Structure 1
Amino acid sequence: MNFQLVQSARKGGGARPRRGVWLMKGAPPEQKTSSAAPPLRLVVVLVVVVWISLLYYQFPMLAGGGGAPLVTVGRSDSADDPCRGRYIYVHDLPPRFNADILRDCRKTKDHWPDMCGFVGNAGLGRPLADPLDRVFTGENGWYGTHQFALDAIFHNRMKQYGCLTNKSSLADAVFVPFYAGFDFVRYHWGYDNATKDAASVDLTQWLMRRPEWKRAGGRDHFLVAGRTGWDFRRSTNIDPNWGTNLLVMPGGREMSVLVLESSLVHEREYSVPYPTYFHPRSDAEVRRWQDRVRGLERRWLMAFVGAPRPDNPKNIRERIMAQCESTDGCAQLGCALGTSQCHSPYKIMRLFQTATFCLQPPGDSYTRRSVFDSMVAGCIPVFFHGMSAYLQYKWYLPEDHAKYSVFITEEDVRTGNLSIEAALREIPPERVERMREEVIRLIPTVLYADPRSKLETVRDAFDIAVEGIIGKVAGDRRGGAAAVDHIDTTSATDNHNLSPWQGLGSRRRK
């Protein structure tokens, strides 16, 4: 809109200006002749442009809000188009589905820690300030990121994606920036199921009325639900009051969804890494960190960070902790209820950096954030259940699991037939070195770069997820369900077809 500043002169006082009045372009010509108007108009226009730029670019990045994509491009059918086959259209959802949810972050305070401190900085949370050697600081890309903050992080990364299109009919996939994970939190305790599902029902009805949906019946749509898949399928969970029904209701079940842990019962449900504390801003930061962890002294054979599960006799955590306490080769951070060690990024990462192997038993679900924190530290993960990694994260982790990890069965630990320390010491040093190098190579693929910057050649977890989703959508168009990877759950344990919380406890804390 074009505005002009028009000066009003005093009666009989010549042309000396008295006050400025904003008028639409088209004011009478005699009101546009003031010699002071051009420079003043220029200053005002510059101020307005600066403020609009700040509000448009900075506020959505800090709050993870909704709105149209910040970058829109066209599409070329040219074979040399670098975005050919990679275009994404982002739905401009009403703010009630994302930005408004973040503004309700204090609604969680009665049952969860206040989430408001975790949604700033494009979803990364507060920058860390390492009190010891200044390694883990915001300047170096380290933040107090919440494990369930992926909704906002991913959305803000998508705003920087280089192949966005404003023509939905030409898009290779359609992104739905609904903050399903944050929506889960705000109404989980103390509300009926209808209230828990209200936003999901509203979203799916909104989507199914859109022309973009009709093109493929929603099968080219995807969203990020930054929790486990079981948190969004209440009617197929063993707990009829746990979570929402987003992935079961019409509209939700047609879309692909990226979750932190798949339920393995939905063919369009794909697992992506938990957010870690490290969010590099350049390729150089990634390389420097890899070089650092490669050269660290590993004085502990093994390490464990986690809380016991005394209410669940099948869980092996207490046995692992007992084995760790019985040897000088193991270090652990106790995370019993009421302690804060497991909430200190500094303590967690310092421990993982000094251990060769990091023990990763199931907790509230089969996998947990600690898996990815330890890998970022260059620590070789030790798994006790196939669902913790091997049956998931197929876009991210090598198919040959022995290249980067160790597997020990839960039964061997539960019955006391095996010493974890003895099993790890039997691994030849040269093989340990190869495994560690593979873990270090994988570091970029299991972290999310800072959404406010852009990596040049390094592919992070976001890049891999987008590539995977576009490939699945393209496969669906070519061959239907046959193009979707089939995950054979028969290789899991005898409860593979049940909710991950059956036999794993009910507290849902990591």
Structure 2
Amino acid sequence: MFPLRLLPLARPWSCSSSVRCLLAWTLLAKFFCAVAGGAGPADVLSLPTGSNYVYIYDMPQRFTQDILAMPLDQSLQTWTQWYDLDQHVHRFLQNSTALTQQPESARLFFIPVYLGRLYHSLLIESGLPHSECLRHVTARVLDALQHVRQTFPYWDGSNGQDHFMVFPMDHGRCHALAGENQHVMGELFAVQPTGDLALTDFETRSWYCYKPRRDVLVPVPLESVVQDAGAIHTPFTDSRTISVLYRFAGGGAAGTVNFRTDPHNYSRTDLRTALLDQHLISPIPAAVAGPSTLAQTHADMKQSVFCVCPNGISQHTLRVFRSILAGCIPVTFFRAFDNPLERNLGLDWSAFSVNINPDEYMLTQQTLTKLLANPRRIQTMQTALQGVQPLFEWHSGRSDGVEHNMLRELNLLLDTSPVLANG
């Protein structure tokens, strides 16, 4: 397991009491000791002793059950289910030992709203345009925050700094509070799948979609079809007969090297087209390219050494997480090696993945060919990949699974939060 690195502090902070200072510095000391010993997330930060420290607000049905009752094309559920992150977190907490029925003694407050299902029902069944669907999502979030503030006394004392919601859409906060001012969020924690450091609110451009000290990043849940096939397939379970898997579609303008110059535009396919063209001109032996069915893609990933994962609509595509769980070394294309989950899980992604600057995509084949010619290096990377696979698995019940690492991160950020000006 790889050592955790401390999250970068966004601004100086102070302690309101000697007890708070002692607790915060104790947590930081645990991190330094764990780094020296090479411990992983499950070993570094223990969850609060005992249980009963997360309170779930009993929200009106318009935030949960009424949304689940909205129509959704069943044939598209294998696509939409990976946006059900909010439902996964809610179900986990409802059955967790962390749950408390006494809000007065709670450490964290969870506001459940099923935004992923709301968006997709409006998009698919109602036929509303994307921007209109986001306006409905934002309105529901504002409604939920207003309900909590007006109905319960627990928000105002800390401006929501011990509250959290799940924003399951491609751009987290930006797809849940589009066009709103920062003050409506208070100090709310966001649990979300992406954490781009450059992306700003699409309408106001006045705040960033990811707040390093207020947001917790988690891998998205996989579709049920993939889960039924077995969540983790280690790199050494079977022999891998596919050297490199290019399992994605192209369609963009060929010959363009201007990839991801606009942080607000992730849906370009020119990089994908360039990678596929490169494969056609000079294919790596035993490489496989071209789109296929979900089932075949997952089967092929289990047989592949490398899985090429160019960006999609968001910074991380689903294929990155699917690749990791299938035991296939992911090949990503992030500028500045900005792997969002590296900031939360503290992993050295260079140990179990390959990242290539999108402006240097032409080095992809050369890089992978050299690695494939070095079996010892491949085995080292596969061993590292096997070690981190549990960190990306939902519903495992393990202490290093997604859900428990989410709780650790929330507790850590809560203990190191800056004191509010009015606190």
Whether 1:102 and 2:30 are equivalent positions in the alignment is no
**CA apart distance, 1:219:** 0.8
**CA apart distance, 1:320:** 0.9
Give the aligned residue type for 2:277.
A
Cα distance in 1 for partners of 2:174, 2:413 equals 22
Give the counterpart of 1:438 among 384, 396, 410: 384
Change (3 A) 1:193 1:148: closer
RMSD: 3.1
State the match for 1:401 in structure 2: 349
Unaligned runs of 5+ in 2: 1-46, 198-207, 260-269
State the match for 1:329 in structure 2: 286
**Superposition pairs of residues 28-427 of structure 1, within 5 angstroms:** 82-83=49-50, 87-106=53-72, 114=73, 118=77, 146-187=81-122, 189-190=128-129, 191=132, 195-209=136-150, 210-229=152-171, 232-233=173-174, 244-245=177-178, 248=181, 250-264=183-197, 265=208, 266-267=210-211, 268-277=214-223, 279=227, 289-290=232-233, 293-310=235-252, 313=256, 314=259, 315-325=270-280, 326-327=282-283, 328-334=285-291, 341=292, 344-386=293-335, 390-396=339-345, 398=347, 400-413=348-361, 416=362, 418=363, 420-427=364-371
Cα distance in 2 for partners of 1:145, 1:440 equals 28
Change (3 A) 1:447 1:387: farther
State the match for 1:460 in structure 2: 401
Give the aligned residue type for 1:375.
I
Cα distance in 1 for partners of 2:233, 2:275 equals 29
**CA apart distance, 1:172:** 1.8
Give the aligned residue type for 2:278.
Q
Change (3 A) 1:307 1:96: same
Give the aligned residue type for 2:403.
F
Q: Is the 8 A contact 1:102 1:182 kept in 2?
A: yes
State the 4+ residue runs in structure 1 displaced beyond 6 angstroms.
none
Q: Is the 8 A contact 1:152 1:179 kept in 2?
A: yes
**CA apart distance, 1:253:** 4.6
Give the aligned residue type for 1:223.
M
Cα distance in 2 for partners of 1:350, 1:257 equals 34
Deviations 1:74-95 (A, max 9, x none): xxxxxx98426x7211111111
Give the aligned residue type for 2:169.
R
TM-score (norm 2): 0.71
Cα distance in 1 for partners of 2:410, 2:251 equals 36
Determine which structure has more spread, i.e. the larger CA radius of gyration: 1
Aligned length: 336
Q: Secondary structure at the match of 2:100?
A: coil
Identity %: 20
Higher fraction of helix = 2
Deviations 1:209-233 (A, max 9, x none): 2212123211100111111235x43
**CA apart distance, 1:365:** 2.4
Change (3 A) 1:192 1:320: closer
State the match for 2:203 in structure 1: none
Cα distance in 1 for partners of 2:114, 2:286 equals 43
Change (3 A) 1:272 1:192: closer
Cα distance in 2 for partners of 1:412, 1:329 equals 23
Q: Is the 8 A contact 2:245 2:288 kept in 1?
A: yes
Q: Secondary structure at the match of 1:211?
A: coil
Unaligned runs of 5+ in 1: 1-79, 107-113, 119-124, 126-143, 235-242, 335-340, 482-510
Change (3 A) 1:305 1:387: farther
**CA apart distance, 1:303:** 0.7
State the match for 2:204 in structure 1: none
